[in-house]
Structures are given as structure tokens and as C-alpha cells.
Structure 1
Amino acid sequence: MLNQIRPAIVMIVVTTAVTGLLYPIAMTGAAQALFPNQANGSLVEKDGKVIGSALIGQSFTSDRYFHGRPSATTGADPNDATKTVAAPYNAVNSMGSNLGPTSASLITRIKGDVATLQAQNPNMPVPMDLVTTSGSGLDPDISPDDAYFQIPRVAKARNMDEAKLRTIVDAAVEGRELGVLGEPVVNVLALNRALDASMNQ
């Protein structure tokens, strides 16, 4: 009987060592050697301090900054562990709202957001992705239309020329990958950093 069990045990040990230890170590080492920034989370630093990640959005609420898409992520309620509270861009709880197009609460929220945005810029139609959440709730990017729509608000808050601000947005637009994959996007954190840097020049 031992002769029959021994090969199975050896196979389990060898397979566990190869797929559970050697392979992950090799892949981690290769990633650190070839793509260290991406392997470590695409962290963004300022003055030696981590201020975010290029892969996870942040909640910018000041009129002086460009805002990202709404985020439906939640976190634990500090007053009641059985409940949750809104926690925009909570990376430990990636999720969408799961509300469908017939949801009354979703329709009410979107109508309110559209009204607020139209008041800020009545000369342009509100881009739909500026009032809808992404599937992950962590999207760090917005469309160029979203960024252009926000120019009057940011320019007014910073007492800045809109044409100069448009130039900054133009420079922040990232084209399609390999020229054909996906859509052009603007990373909100990168755009806001470029905006702050332009004010210091």
C-alpha cells in the first residue's frame, strides 16, 4: 500500500514546490527586474512621499482640481461594523454600484449630478461617464471630453486662462495603446499634478 501512496505524496510535494513556491518566486523576480514600477503598484511619489497610484483613482473634491468619475466603493462604518458608508476609491473594496438603468436611486443621483455639472458649464453637454461609475469604482482615468468639460470650473477657481488650461489637458491626453486599442484617456492624478506644476512656473 505504501508503494501506491508514495508516488501520490511525492507528486503533491513536487507540484506544490514548483507551482506554489518556485514559479511565484521566479515570476516575482522577473517582474521586479523587468517592470519594477508596475510590479510595485505604479506608485506616484512627490518629494519622496507616496501620494497615490497611477492605477487607482482619488477623490478630488476641490474646484481647483479636475475630478474623476464617481466611485461606488464603500467602507466599514466606524460607528457600526454591520453597516457600510461611502468611501470613494476604496482599493480594498473594488465594486460597482450594481444599480441598473431602471433603478430610481441611480436615476435620481445622475439627474442631480447632471444638474450640478450643467450649472458649472452650461455651454457644453455633460459627458455621461462623468456622472456614472466604472465597474471597479477605482478608475483613475477620465475621457478627454470629461476633462475639457471641467476646464471652465478649474480655470475660474484658479483665476487661470482657459486656453492655457486646455494646453495642459491636451498634453495629458494618453492615446490608444499601440495606436488602436482602447480609447484616449486622461489620468486625473497626473493631470492635477501637471496643473499644480504649471502654477509654480
Structure 2
Amino acid sequence: MTRQLVAATKALLVLTLVCGVGYPGAVLLVAQLVPGRAAGQPVLVDGREVGSHLLGQPAGGPGWFQGRPSASDASGELSGGSNLGPSNPDLAAVVADRAASLRAANPDAAAAIPPDALTASASGLDPDISPAYALWQVPRIAKVRGLDESAVRRIVAAHVEDAPLGMLGQPRVNVLALNVALDARTAGEE
């Protein structure tokens, strides 16, 4: 029995060193090769951190671009989807409620509501929206901020990111980057 206890203790120590020190240390070293991403890609405005390029967050009101709906209110502690399947009648009701809310908040938007405006992201923390959803919000934002719609459309166009490697996913727009650029433009107008 003593031999087994010594072997188990040695295994515990070795695995603790490998899994608790070695592996995390190796990951930390590799992460330093891309320091911006390792730090969560913080977005700074006037030296103050306003958010992360990698995490969605609720926007401040009608004068800002809104991200995708979140079942967790964009909380990292509660991230996750609603787990409502496509055949669940509750999902249809949730989507109908979102559509009604979006139409009420965006009465000047003439086009159909883009799908990513109606469906929550799987994590609830998606930082990006489709260019179509960003453009759909332009009339409301231009009206609230007193800007020309074409100026807001140019801001959206300047922030469209192509799919990685040109084939992985869809073009997207980072909501926080868009709102920071919009604030900078509005500050420049004053």
C-alpha cells in the first residue's frame, strides 16, 4: 500500500506541475506573440478603456448601433443562448416580440429586418453584426444624432470587415468600433 501511495503522490505532483504550471505557462508564452488578442483587444478612447473588440456589450440608447440580441444581456458571467429550438413556439414569440420592438424603435427603416437583428447569438456575447443590420439602423441613428444618412453609411462602410481568409464566415461590422467612430464623428461636428 505504501508503494501505491508514493506512486499516486508522484503522479499528483507531476500532473500538477505539467497541467497547473507547464501548460498554462506555455499558453501564456504563445499568447504573447499576439499581445493585443491576449489582453482581450481592449478599445481605448482618450486613454480610457471603453470595452473589448472581442465581446459584445449593450449599447447606450437610440443614438448608437445596437448589437445582436442576447439571452444573457451581454453578461460574460451568464453567457449562452436561450436554447430554444426552431420548432419551439416560444422562439417564434420571442422573434415576433423582437421584430415589433425593432420596428417601433426604427420607424424609418424601410427594408426587411435582417435575421441577425432577430436571433440571439449562441454565446450572447457576439461583438459583430452584419453590414445589412448596421445599414438598417442608419436612418434612426442619423435622425437622433442630427447627421446626414450618407455620412453614417460611410462610417458603416469603413468598418466592414471581410470574412477571414475570404471564406470563413460572412462580412461583419464590430458594433463597438462603429459606435466609437460614430462618437468621434459626432464630436467633430460640434
Q: Which amino acid aligns with 2:100?
A: A
- Runs (4+) off by over 6 Å: none
Distance (Å, rounded) in 2 between the aligned partners of 1:7 and 1:102: 54
**Partner SS for 2:76:** coil
Quote how far apart the aligned CAs of 1:104 are: 3.7
Quote how far apart the aligned CAs of 1:122 are: 4.6
User: Structure 1 residue 182 and structure 2 residue 181: aligned?
Assistant: no
Q: How does 1:158-197 map to 2 (within 5 A)?
A: 158-197=145-184
Quote how far apart the aligned CAs of 1:4 are: 5.9
Identify the range of structure 1 (132-141 vs 58-67) with the bigger mean alpha-carbon deviation: 58-67
Quote how far apart the aligned CAs of 1:143 are: 0.5
Structure 2: gaps (5+ residues): none
Distance (Å, rounded) in 2 between the aligned partners of 1:59 and 1:19: 36
Contact 2:109 2:140 in 1 (8 A): no
Quote how far apart the aligned CAs of 1:129 are: 1.2
Contact 2:145 2:186 in 1 (8 A): no
Higher helix share: 2
TM-score (norm 1): 0.83
Q: Structure 1 170/10 Cα, relative in aligned 2: closer, same or farther at 3 Å?
A: same
Aligned position for 2:118: 131
Identity across matched positions, percent: 45
Quote how far apart the aligned CAs of 1:144 are: 0.6
Q: Structure 1 61/15 Cα, relative in aligned 2: closer, same or farther at 3 Å?
A: closer
Aligned position for 2:63: 64
Aligned position for 1:115: 100
Contact 1:44 1:51 in 2 (8 A): yes
Distance (Å, rounded) in 1 between the aligned partners of 2:101 and 2:9: 65
User: Structure 1 residue 156 and structure 2 residue 155: aligned?
Assistant: no
Aligned position for 1:54: 53
Q: Which amino acid aligns with 2:63?
A: R
Aligned position for 1:38: 37
**1:46-84 deviation per Cα after TM superposition (whole angstroms, max 9, x unaligned):** 2232211111111115111110111101xxxxxxxxxxx
**Partner SS for 1:44:** strand
TM-score (norm 2): 0.88
Quote how far apart the aligned CAs of 1:105 are: 3.6
Aligned position for 2:18: 18
User: Structure 1 residue 198 and structure 2 residue 167: aligned?
Assistant: no
Distance (Å, rounded) in 2 between the aligned partners of 1:23 and 1:43: 25
Contact 2:95 2:119 in 1 (8 A): yes
Distance (Å, rounded) in 2 between the aligned partners of 1:142 and 1:34: 28
